[in-house]
Amino acid sequence: ERKARARTARLRRSLDQANRRTKNQVKYTLGAAMVALAESGKGDQMVAGFRRWLDRYLSREQDRDLLRDTPFSLEPPEADHGRQ
């Protein structure tokens, strides 16, 4: 029984790891597609909408800094960003 539980625990860890890997691949693929679209100049309207969304929802300065030299660069947030 102990061996079976240990095997089950290993299988669960392995499955969790595979799920995380898949999730990260999806994020990377979608991000790469969005960057490619922005760099192509063909999706200006979509990129502008995404940039507005990012401006509204990114509150951490380090997240905004990461976008500085990309097509998704944002202006510094206002002093009351995210507050109402």
Q: How much is the pLDDT for 82?
A: 53
Asked if 76 contacts 64 with a C-beta cutoff of 8 angstroms, the reply is yes
- List Cβ neighbours of 71 (8 Å cut-off, separation of 6 or more): 35, 38, 39, 47
Q: Return the number of other C-beta atoms located less than 10 Å from residue 39's C-beta.
A: 12
- pLDDT tens for 16-57 read 999 999 999 999 999 999 999 999 989 899 999 999 999 999
Q: What is the pTM of this model?
A: 0.64
